[in-house]
């Protein structure tokens, strides 16, 4: 049952929405994000719900809302630029060169572009 409405996001799977203790029998429970942090939560059920494996099986777990922050540190930006350059170099290869990488990569159970990027990183 998907929950729809103002500020309500989430998915209840055979669960009771009115209680903070969601049923976990046979893995039933709530998953995803429920509510928004700026809305009042009189029942104490808003948050990000995840299913976790325990010794007794799956249990729903509520974690607090958090802000996703994209960090731009100097090493991360350098690695992103290096990866972008590697992908540009892969795109500039001829089909024969790519076929050679694909053949060598198949022996290692990977993809040709992965092998190329690995070599690109080692050489640059």
Q: Domain extents for the chain?
A: 11-63, 74-123
Q: What is the pLDDT of residues 16-67, one digit of tens each?
A: 333 344 444 444 556 677 778 788 878 777 888 888 888 888 887 888 887 7
* Of the candidates 46, 83, 88, 82, the residue with the CA atom closest to the CA atom of residue 63: 46
DSSP secondary structure code for residue 110 in this structure: S
What is the per-residue pLDDT for 58? 80
CA torsion, points 15, 16, 20, 24, in degrees to nearest 10? -30
61's tokens: 């777990």
What is the per-residue pLDDT for 98? 96
96 burial class (0-12, 13-18, 19+ CB within 10 angstroms)? Answer: exposed
Query: 3-state DSSP helix/strand/coil percent for the chain, to nearest 5?
Result: 40, 20, 40
Predicted structure pTM score: 0.49
């Amino acid at each position: 049952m998907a929950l729809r409405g103002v500020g309500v996001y989430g998915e209840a799977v055979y669960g009771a929405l009115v209680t903070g203790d969601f049923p976990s029998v046979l893995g039933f429970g709530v998953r995803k994000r429920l509510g928004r942090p700026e809305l009042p939560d009189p029942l104490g059920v808003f948050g990000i719900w995840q299913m976790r494996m325990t010794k007794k099986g799956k249990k729903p777990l509520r974690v607090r809302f958090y802000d996703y922050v994209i960090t731009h540190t100097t090493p991360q930006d350098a690695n992103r630029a290096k990866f972008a350059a590697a992908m540009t170099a892969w795109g500039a290869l001829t089909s024969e060169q790519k076929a050679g990488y694909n053949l060598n990569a198949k022996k290692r159970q990977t993809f040709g572009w992965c092998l190329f990027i690995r070599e690109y990183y080692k050489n640059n």
